[in-house]
Chains A and B, each alone.
Chain A
Amino acid sequence: MTGWVYAAAILGCGLGACVRFALGWLDHARTFPWPTIAANVLGSALLGAVVAAGDDALVTPAWAFVLGTGVAGGLSTFSSLAVDIVVMAKDRRVRATALYVAATCVLGLGAAWAGYAAVAALA
């Protein structure tokens, strides 16, 4: 892949991070970090869709790299996920921690499946 593809993927990662950050502005209560779950769900759905589009040759490998590794990679995050779990666990919020872990796993895997299935059905 050319240098421009890498440059676009890197910029896409920055833009994805901006969308993830902006989701936090919708959360006024600040008691349960659902914006991180939302960002990971959106990123997983996007990557699932990109993988399906690549399998069906709807996008070039370069675009799949920019949208998947770049945008979806920057939109989703693992570090906030880990810190959220640590912070809620340190505060002994057992039920909130369990709900957060379960929602992240179920909705994240479900979103990747849904993104893949939606594009595969269209193709």
Chain B
Amino acid sequence: MARPVTRARQLALVLVGGALGGALRIVLSETLPHGAGPVPWDLVVINVVGSLGLAWAVAFTQARGPWAVFPMVGPGFFGGFTTFSSIAALEWSAGTSTGLAVIVLVGTMAAAVAGALLGWRLGDRPPTPLDEAAVFAEENE
């Protein structure tokens, strides 16, 4: 079931959206205050806001039907805007203790999930039953 044209178009959308999301992340992380301590508050804020945004977009398209540019908005923009690697590598990039690195990772996940729950609630209009397989198919994962 190879559909090269469709897949190439999806990749182009993801490339554009990912570049835009990455550009915004770089601009924000250079303008937001880092704070004095080892916790990268700028990245925590970016990840929570991005998780809220993606959940809103996924719930919105679940309720209102497919969105042709979703690969650019979801996996592209919000995927490129948020980042996991900088949080996971904190112990080596910022020289934190293993304990603090784990706390920052788990804390960011909890805050991002809270943001995603809020985003889902905002986007789920009208309230629509969740179709888990459709979400994973839409996000291509």
Q: Is the CB of A91 within 8 A of B132?
A: yes
Q: Is the CB of B75 within 8 A of A80?
A: yes
Determine if A25 is an interface residue (Cβ-Cβ < 8 Å): yes
Q: Which partner residue on chain B sits nearest A30 by CB separation? A: B136
Q: Is the CB of B75 within 8 A of A78?
A: no
Q: Is the CB of A78 within 8 A of B84?
A: yes
Knowing A18-B15, A52-B92, the reply to whether A82 touches B85 (Cβ < 8 A) is no
Q: How large is the interface on B (under 10, 10 to 19, 20 to 34, 35 or more residues)?
A: 35 or more
Q: Is the CB of A109 within 8 A of B88?
A: yes
Cα(A55)–Cα(B97), bound, Å: 18
Q: Is the CB of B78 within 8 A of A79?
A: yes
Q: Is the CB of A17 within 8 A of B18?
A: yes
Q: Which partner residue on chain B sits nearest A108 by CB separation? A: B88
Determine if B39 is an interface residue (Cβ-Cβ < 8 Å): no
Q: Which partner residue on chain B sits nearest A22 by CB separation? A: B11
What A residues does B135 contact at CB under 8 A?
83, 87
Q: Which partner residue on chain B sits nearest A33 by CB separation? A: B141
Cα(A81)–Cα(B50), bound, Å: 11
Q: Is the CB of A74 within 8 A of B22?
A: yes
Knowing A6-B26, A86-B120, the reply to whether A78 touches B50 (Cβ < 8 A) is yes
Our pick among A15, A31, A115 for the contact of B15 (Cβ within 8 Å) is A15
Q: Is the CB of A17 within 8 A of B15?
A: yes
Q: Is the CB of A82 within 8 A of B75?
A: no
Query: Given known contacts A13-B22, A83-B135, what 16 new A-B pairs fall within 8 Å (CB)?
Result: A14-B18, A33-B136, A40-B88, A44-B85, A47-B89, A48-B88, A48-B89, A69-B25, A78-B87, A80-B79, A82-B113, A83-B51, A83-B58, A86-B116, A91-B130, A109-B105
Determine if B91 is an interface residue (Cβ-Cβ < 8 Å): yes
Q: Is the CB of A17 within 8 A of B75?
A: yes
Q: Which partner residue on chain A sits nearest B81 by CB separation? A: A79
With both chains docked as a complex, state the minimum distance between the C-beta of B135 and any C-beta of chain A, in angstroms: 5
B57-115 at interface with A (beta carbon < 8 Å): 58, 71, 74-76, 78-89, 91-93, 101-102, 105-106, 108-109, 112-113, 115
